[in-house]
Amino acid sequence: MFRAILRNWLESWGYHVTIAANGARAWEILQGREAPQMLILDWMMPELSGLELCRLIRERNTLPYQYILLATAKDAREGLIQGLEAGADDYLAKPFDHNELRARLRAGRRILTLQEAHIEARQELEFQATHDGLTGIWNRRAILDLLRREFELAARSHKKIGVMMLDVDHFKQVNDALGHLAGDEVLKAITRRIQQSLRSYDLAGRYGGEEFLIVLPDCDDREVRSCAERIRAVVAGEPIAVEGAEMRVTVSVGTAVLDSQTNTEREVLSAADAALYDAKRSGRNRVVASDLTIQ
């Protein structure tokens, strides 16, 4: 009856309510993917008390933070201190005063709203620290870190990693003809075409200027060449509409395959870069494979 009364109050105030008949069931709910963020726990519950549940929640120390209002008939100061030390954020004596409960829940909502804003701000900062501001893909530092991570994984599984260095041909002419803002739009369009040509777990980063580094986990020489040719063809296949004009753009690509048993990250980057230079020197709009690959 007490839970039914609480539910009616909470739903009339606009809350979505999940009911647990005992502490053990509440703990199951709290470990699910859609766990509530605001909790009203009775001190005395079957199977698992509110105090024990508070301790379990705080020991887990997960995000997002869950706000706990501990309800009890205890009115001694020792009980209040014990509940707060167990991890409760606030304390409410039974029987509840309707208005007091509503006010305390509003205070909890303010804290959770601040938490959400903090999490969003942190995620935005993390994104900005690892992604290129123009294209939205990984930035130079992040893609190199990811290459290093893939190298460590490949070393344990004895697999190879395909690496591509890609450069937009005559990009200065795009900027000179249409301006830097139009050049930015061209880079974004090329990025979209690159991403459409990759597998879901491949990694693409802006290495600098109009140059891109692409990492293909578990990829041999034939596969990396095929992917590079696909990207080259997709970029060259259709003109890019920008500033009321259509501009045909091509890319040159150098490829290499990193064998973690015989090569280093530095060696594969140097090899892919040298192959890219060969592609540009031999006429651009082509793919050149490095001979670094160890068969």
The CA angle 141-143-139, to the nearest 5 degrees, is 60
Choosing from 28, 210, 223, 265, the catalytic residue is 210
The answer to whether residue 246 is catalytic is no
Concatenate the DSSP letters of all residues of 141-179 into one string: HHHHHHHHHHHHHHHHHT-EEEEEEEEETTHHHHHHHH-
Beta partners for 70?
Answer: 41, 91
CB 220 within 8 A of CB 294: no
Q: How far apart are CA 53 and CA 41, in angstroms?
A: 8
Amino acid of residue 175 = N
3-state helix, strand, coil split of the chain in percent (to 5) is 50, 20, 30
Catalytic residue ranges: 210
